[in-house]
Copies of this chain bind each other. A is one copy, B any other.
């Protein structure tokens, strides 16, 4: 992939439409580390909601050459202020919460970001909460997607700058991959694919396909991967939906 870097002229537009928002960060070192993590992965838009002890020499030291990202960071009083002009708000969460929010892992989230940023030219924000407790439910109420990062189910305690690093890396990889995938806008978008997968899942439940030897989450993931690899066109998804409708009409 590194070789790809040199051969591709990135249109930086897709990276500068992805805003990182840090809410109530208490350790300024984490803000500096976040700026460094971002710049390494071509992100530049950093918003800080009521940071503690900031600006700070510690933040600048940890930024280590990403001072430009740090010095252009916007300090805001409220999360609402940091989200002005944003079309899609994503909240980062270490744990799954209740079903109120649409939950996607970081890879799926980056797919969603690609379709929002590249196809629609809109701005997205990924919001990271305070170090000790993450985002409050009130802050999550402003988000339409809750992004989780996979990992050790027994110990999930990513440092906030590390979480931003993982997201920024995955966003970079997903952006580069989607640049190669540019088959001309005929391909199904995220919503269409997701709705197809939901319909598929409902239909497989309807025919009692899943059982203990065929666990739903595993099988659905394999089917998503199989179909995902072929990067289906809109019309192909419509054909598949037509088949599913014969088995089981979709109930959203």
Contact = CB atoms under 8 A, between A and B. Distances in A.
Q: How many copies does the complex hold?
A: 2
A149 interface: yes
Contact of A162 (B36, B156, B170, B227): B36
A108 B3 CA distance: 13
Interface in A198-242: 204, 207-209, 214-215, 217-219, 221-223, 225-232, 236, 239-240, 242
A7 to B, nearest CB: 6
A158 interface: yes
Given A66-B157, A150-B176, A219-B239, 10 more contacts: A1-B105, A5-B153, A40-B157, A40-B162, A41-B152, A65-B157, A208-B246, A209-B243, A222-B239, A226-B239
Contact of A150 (B173, B204, B232): B173
A40 to B, nearest CB: 5
Nearest to A206: B246
A226 B40 CA distance: 28
A151 B169 contact: yes
